[in-house]
Every structure is written in structure tokens, then in C-alpha cells.
Structure 1
């Protein structure tokens, strides 16, 4: 399993990194759209759609996304979209975690399917917008989520259950603990501090999200980092809940050793639009 994970990770890096760093944004845009369209196919399967319906849904998702790009949405998205999607993620996350697996299954399957495709589209637009701002900016958001995930894992393994006697969401993801969540936030703080230093000594690069927040004051940066960390956990828990409802361990087997595309991007789905919401607010305040 470990060998598969490493090989898959290296292949993904070999494919994604050149597209990410290429000055022609079309490469990254096209590659990321193919991947998120695969996630759209997985989403259909997780919500009771047949194989044919899932494929048709993914194809339509791809075509509609291309139409959005043709309409200029890859360059400029109404700021209200980030606010609405961010608020929807907060409400949806809280609501789903309260109703649990059984409550999710009671919702109409077509509604779940279409709503999920909408969230995927917004996350992809946020990814593209962040990339257009600059690679340094985009990476600062991506690494925030990865740092929270990695440090949460190690903190949970080391201290899980030793400080708090109750789990984070035992009915959805029994392995997640409050100690892990707090460890993830510490990881984000360490990563943000390193990124602030990086930006300081590389002034030619566009500012990261962390520098933009810190320049407005620690009183804004700390709650913003905590909020983004919490929402990355919500994204992870929401996907775990949906997989439990579908009775599967992984969203698919597209990425050997890693599961499916949704298994890799679940924490990014709420975090990317919320990062763009913060960016839009900072730009408006400037």
C-alpha cells in the first residue's frame, strides 16, 4: 500500500507541477478541470447515480465549466459567489454534521447530486482564480490545508484521547480527535510563520494569503487561519459522512493507494472558495 501511495504521489507531482509552474495558465486550467470532472463522476456514484448517469453528469460538468471559462469566469468571478458559497459551506457543514449519516440519506438524491456538482464547480473556479493571482498565493492556500491534515494526523496518533475524553465526530470518522484538530491548527500556524518569512525575503513574488492577512493585523490573521483550518476539517468530515452513507471506503480507485480524487481534495472544497472570499474582502478594504 505504501509503495502504491508513493508511486501515485510521484506521478501526480510529475504531471501537476509543470502545469502549475507553466506561464501558460491553460495547461493548469485544463488539467485541473479533467481531475475535478473525475471528481464529479465519483460524486454521482456516491449519491446513487448509475454508471451512465455519473459519466453523463461528469461530461456535462466539464462542458459547463468550459462555457464558464468562455464567459470569462476564469478571470473574474463576482465576489458575491465566494460569500454565498462560503456561507453555504458553513451552514451545510454544521447541518450535515448534526443530522449525521442517516439524515444525509433522507435528502432527495437528485438534490444531493446537483448541489455537489455546484460546490465542485465553485471550488474549481476558486482554484483557477487563485492560480491567476499567482503560484505563491495558490500554494499558500494548498499548503495550509496539507499542513493541517499532516499535523492533525501525527498529533492525533500521539495524543488522541489523552486530553479530551470525547472524539471529534465519532459517528462519522471515529479516528478523528480534538487533539488532532488542535495539532492541525498548530501546524497551520507554523506553516504561516514560515510563509511570512518566505514572502519577506522574496518581495518580487506576489504576496501569499498569509502575508496579506498578517499585514492587516494579528487580530485578523489568527481567526482567519483558525477558520480555514476548521473548514478544512469540515470538508474532510463531510466527505467521510457521504462515503459512510454510500457504504464505501473510498470515493473511487482512480488513484491507487490514495482512493479517489474526492478523497484527495475534500478538505480543499470549502477552503478554496473561503480563501478567495478573504482575498476579495482584503482587496475591497485596500
Structure 2
């Protein structure tokens, strides 16, 4: 299993990194279009659709992103979109977690399908717009989620033993603990401070998310990165809640050893739109 995970991760990095750092943003944007369309297919399967209907859902996701690309939405200021999108993620995430696993099947199927497609479309548009802004901005947002997850894992292993662990959401994701969440938050605070220093030290032309926040003051930077780390956990828990409600271990088997696309991007679904919301507000 570990060997399979490592091989898949290396293959993904070999594909993603050249596209990310390519001089033309369209390379990475197109690659993300494929991933998000695959996420649309997985979303159909998680909602009980057959193979054909799930493929159609993936096609609809693909078409929505392509249309947005053709209209140039990824290069236009979208404050009117990102502010309500970010607020909706905070509100809906809280409501879904409060309702728990039994609450998910009570939501009408069309609402679930459309809601998921909107979340995927917003994620693609946020990735595309962030890449147009610059690699430094996009990468700083992506790494925040990865660092929060990695530090949470090791903090949970080190301090969240069975004897002392305080479970975060035992009915949704039994492996997550408050100790892990605290470790993840400490990790993103250290990351933000180091990134702000590196931006200033090397005079990076495109600001990172953290440098933009630091312009509003270090207390703002601290509060916001903690909030983003918390929302990454919300995204992870929401997907776990959905999978548990339908009895699925992974969203698919597209990424051997890692599950599916949704399993890899769940924490990014709320975080990327919120990062673009902050950018639209702070860069005026």
C-alpha cells in the first residue's frame, strides 16, 4: 500500500509541477480542468448515479469550466462571486457538520448534485484565477492545506494517543483529534511567518497570500491563516461525512493508494475560494 501511494504521488508530481511552473498559465489550468471533471464523475457515483449518468455529470462539470474559461472569467476580478462563495462555504460547512452523517440523505438529491457541481466549478475557477495571479500566490494557498494536513497527522500520532486523544468528530472521522488540529494550526502559522520572510528576503514580484495578509497586520495574518486551516479541516470532514453516509471508503480508485480526486482536493474545496475572496478584498 505504501509503495503504491509513493508511486502515485511521484507520478502526480511529475505531471503537476512542470505544468504549475510553466510560463503559460494555461498548461496548469487545463490540467486542473481534467482533474475537476473527474471529480464531477466521482460526485455522481457518490450520489448514487449509474456509470453513464456519472459520466454525464463529469461532462457537465467539464463544460461549465470550459465555458468560464472561454468567457475569460478566470482573468476578471470576481469579488462579487468570491465573497458570497466564501461565506456560503463557512455557513454550509457548519450546517452540514452539525447535521452529521444522518443529515446528508435528508437533503434533496438535486440540491446535493447541484451543490457539489457548484463547489467543483468554484474550485476550478479559483485555481485558474490564482494561477493567473501568480505561482507564488497559488502555491502559498496549496501548501497551507498540505502543511495543515501533514502537521495534523504527525501531531495526532505524537499526542493523540488512545489514552489521551480528544476526538474531533468521532461519528464522521474517528481518526481525527483535536491534538492533530492544533498541530496543523501551529504548522500553518510557522509556514506563514517563513513565507512572509522569504517574500521580503528575495523580493518576490508576485505576493503570496501571507504577504497580502501581513500588509493588514500580523494579528490579521494570524487569525486568517488559522481560519483557513480550520476550513481545510471542514472540507475534509464534509467529504468524510458524505462517504460515510453512502458507505464508501474512497470517492473512487482513480489514484491508486490515494483514493479518488475528491479525496485529494476535499480540503481545497473551501480553502481556495476563501483565498480568492481575501485576495479580491485585500488587493483593491
TM-score interval for Structure 1 and Structure 2 normalised by the shorter chain: over 0.9
Matches within 5 A, 1:1-286: 1-160=1-160, 166-284=166-284
Report the CA distance shift for 1:204/1:78 in structure 2 as closer, same or farther (over 3 A). closer
Cα deviation for residue 114 of structure 1 reads: 1.1
User: Residue by residue, what CA displacement relative to the aligned partner does 1:145-198 show, whole Å, maximum 9, x if unpaired?
Assistant: 000000001101111158976411111001111110010000001111221121
1:204 and 1:119 mapped to 2: Cα distance? 31
Is residue 161–residue 179 contact of structure 1 (8 Å, CA) maintained in 2? no
User: Residue by residue, what CA displacement relative to the aligned partner does 1:223-262 show, whole Å, maximum 9, x if unpaired?
Assistant: 1011100000000000000000110110000000100000
2:151 and 2:115 mapped to 1: Cα distance? 31
Report the CA distance shift for 1:39/1:207 in structure 2 as closer, same or farther (over 3 A). same
1:21 and 1:146 mapped to 2: Cα distance? 18
User: Residue by residue, what CA displacement relative to the aligned partner does 1:65-94 show, whole Å, maximum 9, x if unpaired?
Assistant: 111111111211421211111111111111
TM-score (normalised: structure 2) = 0.97
How many pairs align? Answer: 284
TM-score (normalised: structure 1) = 0.96
Q: Could you list the runs of 5+ residues in structure 1 that have no partner in the other structure?
A: none
Is residue 79–residue 280 contact of structure 1 (8 Å, CA) maintained in 2? yes
User: Residue by residue, what CA displacement relative to the aligned partner does 1:185-230 show, whole Å, maximum 9, x if unpaired?
Assistant: 0000111122112111221431111111112201211110111000
